[in-house]
Amino acid sequence: MGIFEMMEKEGHEQLIFLHDRLSGLKAAVGIHDTTLGPALGGCRMWPYPTEEEMVQDVLRLSKGMTAKSAATGCDYGGGKAVIWGNPNTDKSEELFRAFGRFVEGLKGRFITGTDMGTNYEDFVWAAQESKYFVALPESHGGSGDSSLITAYGVTVGIKTALSFAGSDNLKGKGIAIQGVGKVGYHLIENLLAEGARIYASDISESKLDKIRKDFPEVTIVSPEEIYGLDVDVFSPCAMGGIINDETIKLIKAKIIAGAANNQLLEPRHGEILRQRGILYAPDFIVNAGGLIQVVDELSGFDRERAMRKTAGIRELLMRVFEISKDRDIPTNEAAAVLVEERIARLGALQRIYLSK
Choose the binding region for ligand NAD from 6-14, 31-39, 196-204, 310-318 (rule: CB under 6 A): 196-204
Q: From CA 216, how far away is CA 214, in angstroms rounded? A: 6
Picking from 292, 245, 337, 316, the residue whose alpha carbon sits closest to that of residue 76 is 292
Which stretch, 4-12, 235-243, 299-307, 338-346, contacts ligand NAD (CB under 6 A)?
A: 235-243
Residue 106: phi and psi, rounded to 5, are: -85, 0
Q: Nearer Cβ to ligand NAD, position 143 or 178?
A: 178
Query: Which residue lies nearer to ligand NAD by CB, 182 or 314?
Result: 182
Q: Does residue 178 belong to the site contacting ligand NAD (CB under 6 A)?
A: yes
**Number of residues in contact with ligand NAD under rule CB under 6 A:** 28
- Residue 198, phi then psi, degrees to nearest 5: -110, 135
| Amino acid identity for residue 160 in this structure | T
CB of 14 to ligand NAD, least distance (A): 20
The residue type found at 257 is: A
Q: What DSSP element (H or E) covers 73?
A: none
Binding flag, residue 63, ligand NAD (CB under 6 A): no
Instruction: Kindly tell me which of 178 and 331 has the beta carbon lying closer to ligand NAD.
Output: 178
In this structure, the number of other CB atoms found within 10 A of the CB of residue 256 comes to: 27
Nearer residue to ligand NAD within complex by CB, 105 or 228: 228
**Is 80 one of the annotated active-site residues of the chain?**
yes
DSSP 8-state assignment for residue 261: S
Distance CA 59, CA 77 (A): 13
Residues 118-157 that bind ligand NAD (CB under 6 A): 146-147, 150
Q: Within 10 Å of residue 20's Cβ, how many Cβ atoms?
A: 16
- Out of 68, 80, 91, 309, the active site residue is 80
Q: From the list 13, 57, 115, 129, which residue makes contact with ligand NAD (rule: CB under 6 A)?
A: 115
Residue (233 or 259) nearer to ligand NAD, CB: 259
Taking residues 199 to 218 in sequence order and writing x for each that binds ligand NAD by CB under 6 A, - otherwise, the string is --xxxx--x-----------
Q: Are 196 and 173 in contact (CB under 8 A)?
A: yes
Nearest to 115 by CA among 240, 234, 272, 282: 240
Q: Contact 235/217 with Cβ under 8 angstroms?
A: no
CA distance 58 to 18: 13
Which residue of 7, 231, 237, 248 would you call a contact of ligand NAD, by CB under 6 A? 237
Nearest-CB residue for ligand NAD: 181
Q: What is the C-alpha separation between 184 and 187, in angstroms, rounded?
A: 5
Question: How far is Cα 87 from Cα 102, in angstroms, rounded to an integer?
Answer: 19
Give the range of 52-60, 100-108, 198-206, 346-354 binding ligand NAD by CB under 6 A: 198-206
User: Min. distance of Cβ 354 from ligand NAD in angstroms?
Assistant: 32
**Is residue 57 involved in binding ligand NAD (CB under 6 A)?**
no
Q: Decide if residue 239 touches ligand NAD (CB under 6 A).
A: yes
Any contact of residue 221 with ligand NAD (CB under 6 A)?
no
Q: What residues contact residue 338 under an 8 Å CB cut-off, 6+ apart?
A: 70, 71, 316, 319, 320, 323
Binding status of residue 264 toward ligand NAD by CB under 6 A = no
Q: Which residues of this protein are in contact with ligand NAD, per CB under 6 A?
A: 114-117, 146-147, 150, 178-184, 201-204, 207, 223, 237-239, 259-261, 287, 290
Q: Which residues are catalytic?
A: 80
